[in-house]
Amino acid sequence: MPGRIDGRRALITGGAGGLGAACARALAAQGAHVIVADRDGTAAAALATEVGGEAWEVDLLDTGALESLTLDVDILLNNAGIQAISPIQEFDPAAFRRIITLMLEVPFLLIRAALPHMYAQNHGRIINISSIHGLRASAFKSAYVSAKHGLEGLSKVTALEGGPNGVTSNCVNPGYVRTPLVEGQIADQARTHGIAPEQVLSDVMLARNAIKRLVEPAEVASLVTWLASDQAAMVTGASYTMDGGWTA
């Protein structure tokens, strides 16, 4: 079982639903004070009330507002993400930039805002929700794959710089997780590949898996909680796959 993290302040982006909400509940259960950051302020407030934390309604795509931000948090979970699927020659450049901004530039800005406090107390945990697509590519996902590969590099640089200051930085790399984002992808994949939606899971998403099911959000949250604990103090610069054997 992960060690308790009583009194630690944990910020979770995209925290109001899906994987973020599962992580919020798991971290709160181990004693963390959770800050639920989400553009849906109503959902963020509801979850914050449930876990005894606080809500931060924020549009993370307003990166200018993040450049002067300071964060007094002990745990930063970069989780917010979006997806768009299209062949490269048809990929909307604005959509490409939006994904890179939210899933690479925003984590950089939040890490930048959090490190001074973490360095001052000689303790911190940066946890980045990456993906199998941070390690492998798939067709039609040029923006998502690029963002996640970049996040892997950012996480490793953070680990090297943060290590002497008591800060660890790691990536969690799940396969397809049972979240609204993935459910939305099923329709997109069906349209792109010209197959029925019910074929997408078996023929596309889980085709390489040894275990033929989606990852559950609570499973990812359990790994996140361990990485946030003192038990993981020597774990940094790592990428943890949770993919049912896809990359075996």
CB atoms within 10 A of CB 145: 20
pLDDT digits 0-9 by tens, 172-199:
999 999 887 777 778 877 887 788 887 8
Pick left, alpha or beta for residue 242 (phi over 0 → left; psi -120 to 50 → alpha; otherwise beta): beta
In sequence order, what are the residues at sequence separation of 6 or more whose Cβ sits closer than 8 angstroms to the Cβ of residue 118? Answer: 74, 124, 162, 165, 166, 167
pLDDT value of position 245: 95
Q: What is the pTM of this model?
A: 0.93
Percentage of residues in the chain with pLDDT exceeding 90?
Answer: 83
pLDDT band at 53 (very low <50, low <70, confident <90, very high): very high
Tell me the pLDDT of the chain averaged across its residues: 94
Predicted local distance difference test score (pLDDT) of residue 188: 77
More confident residue, 167 or 204: 167
Q: What is the pLDDT of residue 182?
A: 78
C-alpha 80/C-alpha 82 separation (Å) is: 7
pLDDT of residue 93: 98
Scored b (16 or more CB within 10 A) or e, 129-142 reads bbbbbbbbeeebbb
pLDDT on residue 23: 98
Query: What is the three-class DSSP state of 140?
Result: coil
pLDDT, mean of residues 204-231? 93
∠ at Cα 237 (131, 113), nearest 5°? 85
> Where does the pLDDT of residue 106 fall: very low under 50, low under 70, confident under 90, or very high at 90 and above?
very high
Measured between alpha carbons, how far is 203 from 68 in angstroms, rounded to an integer?
46
* 32-51: average pLDDT: 98
Rounded alpha-carbon distances, angstroms, from residue 233 to 94, 122, 125, 241, 248: 40, 12, 9, 19, 27
How wide is the angle at C-alpha 11 spanned by C-alphas 6 and 15, nearest 5°? 115
Q: Is 144 a catalytic residue?
A: yes
The active-site residue, picked from 119, 144, 176, 240, is 144
134 falls in which pLDDT band (50, 70, 90)? very high
